[in-house]
Structure 1
């Protein structure tokens, strides 16, 4: 039978290692470190008690009961820091290798369930998995896939803590069609198979599961213009000389639309490519000579994308985590690098 770890991320506000230091936070912060220049989005409604204490949430207890009823040995962990997340992930390590690399156990009997209040929390765990198992370029082993910089990461089960986000808000679990009921999550862990998905890494040291949306609006909700060079493989979507309203970097479909504008045509989290779109306001003249602004959406797909701001700071959301881009940022695809348990 399996050992199952139910991992919840929490925060003790104001304490060392809490939200103020960029550690794993309740309700949406990411353990970003230097990878994302982000801010804590705060706890989700109704999470005040779970943020302040280590009491497990009701869905976590229900999932634990379902797992125990099936004979699994269950460990519930509330992590307040990267170090505590790492201690859980160490249970997924494989046997020692001759090259000394830390590698996941492909045949391990320990399985991980991540209880998430936000996509940013799931990303925090995946970021620690990448940091744990991605070898330095100088130590790249011969058994690593040519199109990857890291091995297959251990599959995780996702236990959403906010049922509402399966509806109109559409978190990543909803996009992927993952179960939200604790008993169904337990069944996926014990009886399911891994569904492998693409992962975006970036040169800031972080990862992206769903996507990123760059751009900002004023207090009245009107989009603000900004400029950047956006390049996908060898295709330049804009060289930075024209104003932009938005740029979407999509692995999945969370940022496929902005208001009533379709940015990403067909994002697929398992096709080995990143889809990128920029929204450019273009002035055109009618047959009567009148000027009007038309929004032109340019799209491209490829293995990597770079965004180079031409002036100032560019606000963005990356898996729901806020940040500001002040220098060039590049994302690239790691095909099939992470996985979720599905029935």
Structure 2
């Protein structure tokens, strides 16, 4: 039987930026200060000495099935890293740290948001990605990381399946604690694409770049947006939004479809920019229509032309002030499915 670790990172309410990864607050607060207690932009998670109800319910089902269960609350990157060390494989001749494909330990992340799930996957990447100078021959040519250990996802807010469409809902993953336990013990891993970026983080769902005024109305901004060899904007067009999709969380902007068919298993990133275009009717009346330009590819680069442009990345608030690139790692991470 398996050893199962149930990992909690704390709630969004009590831990702005806590263990979310990426230098921003989980629910729109200010980014936490950097320091010894918050490496890589990850603050301390909430002190949750009593596991939440879904965690206890999942643990009870796992225990009843004969699994050895441990509940862990991580309060820093270092504590996440200590836990992930349990998934290390045997020593390799090249000295690289590699995940064990035959591990008898299984991980369940009790997730209050996609940002918390991303925090764990990001630490996996940090642990197992080899330096470019030590790239091994057994690493696929289109990847910079090996197959990461599968993760069970235990959503802590059932309402997000309909009100927010979190990643678990998009992927059709179970939300009931008993069903999550069954998937972890009896299910199979479903491998998914991962977006890495040159800021050192990862993206599971997607990113939405754009600015708005105090009333929530989109503001114009400019940036050069390239997808592989396709140029969606040369930096001269006024943009209202740029969606970068691995999955479909940022597929729409109000009533406008940005991303048509984002698929986290196709090895591609789908990108769209929304450009307001002014036209005139036969009577000379000025009208504004929204033109959506789309492309798919292995990588995308966004270069702002002026100032700082806000963006959301897996729910984390941040700003673009210089060029940022995302690229696809096909099948790099995995979730347990029934």
The interval holding the TM-score normalised by the smaller chain is over 0.9
Counterpart in 1 of 2:318?
A: 323
TM-score between both structures, scaled by the size of structure 1: 0.91
Q: Which runs of 4+ in 1 moved over 6 A?
A: 11-14
Q: Secondary structure at the match of 2:159?
A: helix
Counterpart in 2 of 1:199?
A: 194
Counterpart in 2 of 1:333?
A: 328
Partner residue of 1:225 out of 206, 220, 228: 220
Q: Secondary structure at the match of 2:163?
A: coil
**How far 1:289 sits from its partner (Å)?**
1.9
Would the aligned equivalents of 1:119 and 1:320 in 2 still touch at CA under 8 Å? yes
Would the aligned equivalents of 1:158 and 1:173 in 2 still touch at CA under 8 Å? yes
Q: Secondary structure at the match of 1:68?
A: helix
Counterpart in 2 of 1:83?
A: 78
Query: Is the aligned partner of 1:159 residue 2:159?
Result: no
Q: Secondary structure at the match of 2:332?
A: strand
Provide the C-alpha distance between the structure 2 equivalents of 1:58 and 1:70, rounded to a whole number of angstroms: 19
Alignment of 1:2-17 (within 5 A): 2-10=2-10
**How far 1:104 sits from its partner (Å)?**
0.3
Aligned length: 323
Alignment of 1:282-301 (within 5 A): 282-301=277-296
Would the aligned equivalents of 1:11 and 1:80 in 2 still touch at CA under 8 Å? no
Partner residue of 1:115 out of 110, 113, 116: 110
Q: Calculate the aligned-residue CA RMSD, in Å.
A: 1.7
- Cα 1:319/1:126, change in 2 over 3 Å: same
Gaps of 5+ in 1: 25-29, 44-49
Partner residue of 2:258 out of 245, 259, 263: 263
**How far 1:77 sits from its partner (Å)?**
0.2
**How far 1:269 sits from its partner (Å)?**
0.5
**How far 1:168 sits from its partner (Å)?**
2.6
Counterpart in 2 of 1:47?
A: none
Query: Is the aligned partner of 1:38 residue 2:24?
Result: yes
Deviations 1:236-280 (A, max 9, x none): 000111110000000000000000000001100100000000000
Query: Is the aligned partner of 1:131 residue 2:126?
Result: yes
